[in-house]
Chains A and B, each alone.
Chain A
Amino acid sequence: MNKLIVDNSIVDSDIFIDKDTDLTVDLQDTEKELNVYVVNGTLLKIFIKTKNTKNKVTYYIDDNSNVVINKLAIDSNDDITINMKDINSSIKYNSSIINYKNNTYTQKINHLSSDTKSRIVNHCINVEDKEFKFIVDGIINKNAVRVDFKQDNKIINLKDGKSNILPNLIVDSDDIEAEHSAYIGTFDENKKFYMMSRGLTNNESDDLLIKAFLLNDMDLSEKERDIYSAIIESINK
């Protein structure tokens, strides 16, 4: 696999991926515009950690390409657009957000072609009493058939945060499968009772539940999991 690293030194630019690539993204306090072109028949795996960002990122995915993105972000106002341009392309995008401020995280998934597949998982821990919003649009073009689109959005409020999810699904085609779901709330009290019945404190129970909530859907290497775990363990509750 080709290996690429994107950090704060990158300028607004176009990135072309024309061979199987592991891309690591590490951005902090940035407001960038990036276009990522995934050329046909390519596997792109992206491991992202960001803090306090307002980036605008657009993906263009060609035929027979597969993109897997795992992202852990602290305070993200990012605006992501994914264009599934050609047949047999797929994307699995896990966004896990730790939120301390007033933020809106926006995603738009455009299925422009037939036989395209997307799995969008957005999870957020709203730590303080601030406002957090997911806006997620799934758009299926009228010429796109046999599209498989699923999005799952969840926000857990640890305190009295104001959270909102706008899961939009605009379908202009027949012969597709689409699902979207949204949940805003707290952790299941029965789970916490069970954990505390074994002697874990409220905070220790929360720590394990938070880590599970943010990482469970991700397919990570041990090293990547350790990096994310260290960030999650620093959450100041």
Chain B
Amino acid sequence: MLSIKKLNVVVGDKKILNDFNIDIKEGEIHAIMGPNGTGKSTLSKVILGNKNYEVVSGDIKFDGKSILGLATDEIARLGVFVSFQNPISIEGVVNSEFLKTAINARRENAIGLFEFVKELEGKAKELDYPEELIHRGVNVGASGGERKKNEVLQMELLEPKFIILDELDSGLDIDSLKKVCEGINNYLKNHPKTGVLIITHYPRILEYIKPQFVHMMVCGKIVKTGGYDLAFEIEKKGYSDTSIIDSGENNE
């Protein structure tokens, strides 16, 4: 599904990703944990083709084909979805109109108004996403938690094949986190081939969306790969304890 090989990425003179490798197959859930500034969020933007980052070498393949050089919208329409850490607000662009345009960008025939409204209102209700926010500018006046719910609402409506959850738990209280994770788990139950990459500092979210693989990322590269338990070992010892890297299976 998603395969990244020896990816090197710079911004100006600064190297952000350093020989980065990862392989995520259909239906697998992976988590990347790492300290601030290690390039985790950059990774999601690079996968989406953000032009602010320069790929110096390496490749990103999705479903066997390189997506380097594709425009962001082309990558999105292939089925890649990123739930952003800090979803921005767009004043004047009505949320429902934005969502409808995004759905239609994936379809040959435009979605009917009745079908769209039914789908949108049903999914918003499941997420406890306030109805009035559907008719406002995208994320305008929305709290951090409401913005994250809007990300998951978009995900459910756009039905991606591969999902990146970038710091999903930041800005969410425990009840909202549970609700949002419940929505994602329902989606994965109904779309079992979906690949997932969770980017996080803390293992809390991994208690709700359980990964099969956990990667520890430091200085732009994965330094250790393990199972679910690795997340709690990292939490216990911290990112600076090199004994984690020295012990057991290593991605390199």
Mark A residues whose CB is within 8 Å of B. 190-191, 193-202, 204-205, 208-209, 211-213, 215-216
- CB-defined contacts of A204 to chain B, threshold 8 Å: 101, 105
Contact between chains at A212 and B90 (CB < 8 Å): yes
Q: Which of B81, B92, B105 contacts A200 (CB 8 A)?
A: B105
Contact between chains at A209 and B102 (CB < 8 Å): no
The 4 closest A-B pairs by CB, nearest first: A212-B92, A216-B92, A198-B102, A196-B72
Query: How far, in angstroms, from A215 to B106 measured CA to CA in the complex?
Result: 27
Closest B residue to A205 by CB, please name it: B73
- CB-defined contacts of B48 to chain A, threshold 8 Å: 193, 197
Contact between chains at A211 and B92 (CB < 8 Å): yes
- Interface residue tally on B, bucketed by range: 20 to 34
Contact between chains at A200 and B87 (CB < 8 Å): no
Query: How far, in angstroms, from A183 to B101 measured CA to CA in the complex?
Result: 28
Contact between chains at A197 and B137 (CB < 8 Å): no
Query: How far, in angstroms, from A202 to B71 measured CA to CA in the complex?
Result: 9
Most chain B C-beta atoms within 10 Å of own C-beta, residue among A193, A204, A205? A193
Q: Is B3 an interface residue (CB 8 A)?
A: no
Q: Is B46 an interface residue (CB 8 A)?
A: no
A–B complex contacts, Cβ < 8 Å, 19 sampled: A190-B88, A191-B90, A193-B50, A193-B72, A196-B71, A196-B72, A197-B48, A197-B72, A197-B81, A197-B82, A198-B158, A199-B158, A200-B98, A201-B105, A204-B101, A208-B97, A211-B93, A212-B93, A216-B91
Query: How far, in angstroms, from A127 to B154 measured CA to CA in the complex?
Result: 31
Given contacts A197-B82, A200-B73, A215-B92, 17 further A-B contacts (CB under 8 A): A194-B84, A195-B93, A196-B72, A196-B76, A198-B76, A198-B158, A199-B73, A199-B77, A202-B73, A204-B101, A208-B101, A209-B92, A212-B91, A212-B93, A212-B137, A216-B91, A216-B92
Query: How far, in angstroms, from A204 to B98 measured CA to CA in the complex?
Result: 10
Interface string of B144-163 (1 = CB under 8 A from A): 00000000001000100000
Contact between chains at B90 and A200 (CB < 8 Å): no
Contact between chains at B88 and A198 (CB < 8 Å): no
- CB-defined contacts of A197 to chain B, threshold 8 Å: 48, 72-73, 76, 81-82, 84
Q: Which of A199, A202, A208, A216 contacts B76 (CB 8 A)?
A: A199
Query: How far, in angstroms, from A195 to B76 measured CA to CA in the complex?
Result: 10
Total A-B pairs in contact (CB under 8 Å)? 68
Mark B residues whose CB is within 8 Å of A. 48, 50, 71-73, 76-77, 81-82, 84, 87-88, 90-93, 97-98, 101-102, 105-106, 137, 154, 158
- CB-defined contacts of A196 to chain B, threshold 8 Å: 71-73, 76
Most chain B C-beta atoms within 10 Å of own C-beta, residue among A198, A208, A212? A198
- CB-defined contacts of A216 to chain B, threshold 8 Å: 91-92, 137
The smallest beta-carbon distance between B51 and chain A, in angstroms, is: 8
- CB-defined contacts of A202 to chain B, threshold 8 Å: 71, 73
- CB-defined contacts of A191 to chain B, threshold 8 Å: 88, 90
Q: Contacts A193-B50, A208-B101, A212-B137 given; indicate if A201 touches B90 (C-beta within 8 A).
A: no
The smallest beta-carbon distance between A225 and chain B, in angstroms, is: 11
- CB-defined contacts of A208 to chain B, threshold 8 Å: 93, 97-98, 101
Contact between chains at A194 and B87 (CB < 8 Å): yes
Query: How far, in angstroms, from A199 to B157 measured CA to CA in the complex?
Result: 12
Query: How far, in angstroms, from A191 to B72 measured CA to CA in the complex?
Result: 13
Closest B residue to A208 by CB, please name it: B93
Q: Which of A190, A201, A211, A212 contacts B73 (CB 8 A)?
A: A201
Contact between chains at B92 and A199 (CB < 8 Å): no
Query: How far, in angstroms, from A205 to B77 measured CA to CA in the complex?
Result: 14
Contact between chains at B71 and A199 (CB < 8 Å): no
The smallest beta-carbon distance between A98 and chain B, in angstroms, is: 16
- CB-defined contacts of A201 to chain B, threshold 8 Å: 73, 105
The smallest beta-carbon distance between A198 and chain B, in angstroms, is: 4
Query: How far, in angstroms, from A209 to B106 measured CA to CA in the complex?
Result: 20
Query: How far, in angstroms, from A209 to B137 measured CA to CA in the complex?
Result: 11
Contact between chains at B90 and A194 (CB < 8 Å): yes
